[in-house]
Amino acid sequence: MAKRRAPASSSGETAPLIRAIPFLGSTPADASRLTDRQRQDVLAIATRLRLPPRLTLYHEAAPASSLFVVGEGAVKAFRDLPSGKRRVASFLFRGDVFGLAENGRYLNTAQTITHVSLYRLPIDKLTHLLKHDAELQFKVLCKVTHELRQAQRRAIVVSRRDAAGRLAMFLLMIKTHLIDDIHSDTISLPMSRSDIADYLALSLEAVSRATAELERRKLVKFEGRHLARVLDAKRLGALAAAV
Amino acid sequence: MAKRRAPASSSGETAPLIRAIPFLGSTPADASRLTDRQRQDVLAIATRLRLPPRLTLYHEAAPASSLFVVGEGAVKAFRDLPSGKRRVASFLFRGDVFGLAENGRYLNTAQTITHVSLYRLPIDKLTHLLKHDAELQFKVLCKVTHELRQAQRRAIVVSRRDAAGRLAMFLLMIKTHLIDDIHSDTISLPMSRSDIADYLALSLEAVSRATAELERRKLVKFEGRHLARVLDAKRLGALAAAV
DNA sequence: CGTCATTTTGAGGTATTTCAACGAAGGTGG
DNA sequence: CCACCTTCGTTGAAATACCTCAAAATGACG
């Protein structure tokens, strides 16, 4: 993370603005990428933001004026419950969309985890654009559908009883989500342990003990606080699947 | 529910085919209803089905060919986990859409709970229609977004530790979802206790004890297995909110 | 190199899960 | 219309796993 950030802007521009997945069925794979023209249209209404870690982008229940797309970095969307507990609804990485609202207000609070680059899309302009470009809108629909699936998966993760199993599922979710290192045995974890706890609906202590258990069982090696190395993918997968 | 079903077919046709909620922000409220023309277009590719209870509509991982919209009745979407446990992802009522797929395959199994009437929409035809009617697609987008919010809420419900609180949240979710009796103090529960258990990620026994506790505390009275009467809306709401 | 936040470790408390058995409800056939 | 049977729901008691509180240890940062 502290390594040279390279010519970030150029790589950010050429990367797919939105990474989506076929909505319903046999949509051709390439349908999930934006055309040059579409990217141009979207960029025309977008503001590029470069932000430091730990910055709150918007608060829950605040009037929603923009939708965001992650260009680079990690963001978390969460809600603080009356009890004082915090529930992380999702971690967002490159290509993810966030900022969905209900009745004109954001549902979650969004905060940057790392240094990030974002695209900020004013809702009114985006709505206009979507209503005039059905193909583009279809890609957004696919994207939102994907988020929906993620949310359903998370509900399954959280419903597990054993902390180690939940953590195993979490690690594999992050691993498959961060397409970069899909063939690597390392998983980068930009978020803190307590963020993970809030995502998994466990106490911070339980997460700590779960990481210890995964190490003790030689499934994963945690190297520092922000990197995990998979030692036994097979057994880790088995643990994750043993829901 | 056992009361006269009235001229069911006509009321089904005139009811909004899809009940959606503003996608992002200040979309006018009426934007969530289909126009006559749109309903016509959708109905043109739809097949109306009338099905008995306990019928499986499709299985998890089966090739996805259609999207469904509930006309009347209740449906559940669930997944059976390797452990033998079952997780209900959502209960679907009038106006709800289900049958979302990933890579051409359904993610959940769908089964009717009551006698239902459904609209079956072939995916290829629907895709074609959506790509040619951006306004219609926008309404679908709103609908999917709404499902996403529901899924996030469910994740919060499931993350609670106390069974009674989870049940309270569930009751209120169902109550607000079934727009019919929003001002009534009764909540109809077409699903079984074990369906509720699978939705809340509790054991059947825990649900049973939770209902007993809600009755003991005089918050709710369960009249038969499929009807709940709210006795103290204020305290029930407080319990649900005490996450 | 010192300070502060984060994470780890330990011990006891509490809620749900499991296992087992009973009771109630609904549907079928005689 | 009643008896039977199967499914569903309720209740009790012990076991498990996480939560909470407390304190030490590790790591990040200026």
Identify all chain A residues contacting B22, using CB atoms and an 8 Å cutoff: 101-104
Chain A, 73 to 92: residues with Cβ < 8 Å from chain B are 79, 81-83, 85, 87, 89
Question: Looking at residue B150, what is its pLDDT?
Answer: 93
Asked if residue B69 lies in contact with residue B121, where contact means CB atoms within 8 angstroms, the answer is yes
The C-alpha atoms of residue B225 and residue A69 are separated, in whole angstroms, by: 46
The answer to whether residue B66 scores a pLDDT higher than 60 is: yes
The answer to whether residue B34 scores a pLDDT higher than 60 is: yes
The C-alpha atoms of residue B73 and residue B52 are separated, in whole angstroms, by: 10
Question: Looking at residue B14, what is its pLDDT?
Answer: 45
Q: How far is the CA of A98 from the C1' of C5 (A)?
A: 29
The C-alpha atoms of residue B170 and residue B200 are separated, in whole angstroms, by: 8
* Integer angstrom CA distances of residue B187 from B92, B170, B192, B229: 15, 11, 14, 6
pLDDT tens string, chain A, 243 residues long: the values are 333 333 334 443 444 566 544 555 444 445 568 899 999 999 999 999 999 999 999 999 999 999 999 999 999 999 999 999 999 999 999 999 999 899 999 999 999 999 999 999 999 999 999 999 999 999 999 999 999 999 999 999 999 999 999 999 999 999 988 766 667 899 999 999 999 999 999 999 999 999 999 999 999 999 999 999 999 999 999 999 988
Nearest to A102 among B79, B102, B149 (CB): B149
Among the residue ranges A10-24, B110-124, B209-223, the one predicted with the least confidence is A10-24
Q: Taking the alpha carbons of B34, B38, B40, B41 in that order, is the dihedral positive or negative?
A: negative
Q: How far is the CA of A203 from the C1' of D20 (A)?
A: 10
Q: Can you give the pTM of this predicted structure?
A: 0.89
| CB-count burial class (<10 Å; 0-12, 13-18, 19+) for B26 | middle
The C-alpha atoms of residue A159 and residue A179 are separated, in whole angstroms, by: 26
